[in-house]
Amino acid sequence: MAATPIAVITGASSGIGAATARTLAAAGFRVVLTARRKDRIEALAAEITKAGHQATAYPLDVTDRAAVDEFATAFRSLAVLVNNAGGALGADPVATGDPADWRQMYETNVIGTLNVTQALLPALTASGDGTVVILSSTAALSSYEGGGGYVAAKHGEHVLAETLRLEIVGTPVRVIEVAPGMVRTEEFATTRFRGDTEKAAKVYAGVDAPLTAEDVADTIGWAVTRPSHVNIDLLVVRPRAQASNTKVHRTL
């Protein structure tokens, strides 16, 4: 009897990461949930297990390379890695942006993705059929005012995905990049604006049906479960009301 394929999801404590964990678990993967918030991922693992699926919680800060390397020792073989951990801080122009915010965004979005991918790539390769998913953003493809630091970090993730795909071609590992546009989750915009819920709400004001975390998770689940020879290099997903990062239809 074949072993249940394992999928690791970073940033699984909320939003897209949590929704992806539920989606992949329902698709037959044993999901390993990582995030810094131990209570959140343990509660999600219990929920998934209660639903009849397989889930394990592992508290992890993806920017801590020693911790990531220790985590990776648990896997001889791995089917899927979903690099979801990341996020945005602030919306200041380049002229006044806080370098500490830029550094933190780069560390989480780019170095965190690099750390986990490097550490788990041997196990993904050993599986004979591995998939690396990098969750970037439409910010990885075009800029917008007030987004300099986040855009720079997401461009870094995009280039990481492109370069890795070039470098490991010929190995049994796919590299998939999913780039969502406007997604309304419980934390993304609130975290960006440091808890200012009024500012966070304005991001989505008047927008008919922004994407949900479940929409993006469904997209990731579809991409991951394509036949092994099919690689979805880059999948951009936006709500119908959004034509670009700067063109959004609002009814106010």
Q: Give catalytic residue positions.
A: 150
- How many of the other CB atoms lie within 10 Å of CB of 128? 12
Q: Burial letters for 137-155: b for 16+ Cβ neighbours within 10 Å, e otherwise? A: bbbbbeeeeebbbbbbbbb
Tokens for 45, please give them.
């693992």
Q: Which residues contact 234 (CB under 8 A, 6 or more apart)?
A: 161, 177, 179
Yes or no: say if 12 and 20 are a contact pair by the CB < 8 Å rule.
yes
Dihedral sign of CA atoms 244, 247, 250, 252 in order: positive
3-state secondary structure of 94: coil
Nearest to residue 168, comparing CAs of 136, 223, 130? 130
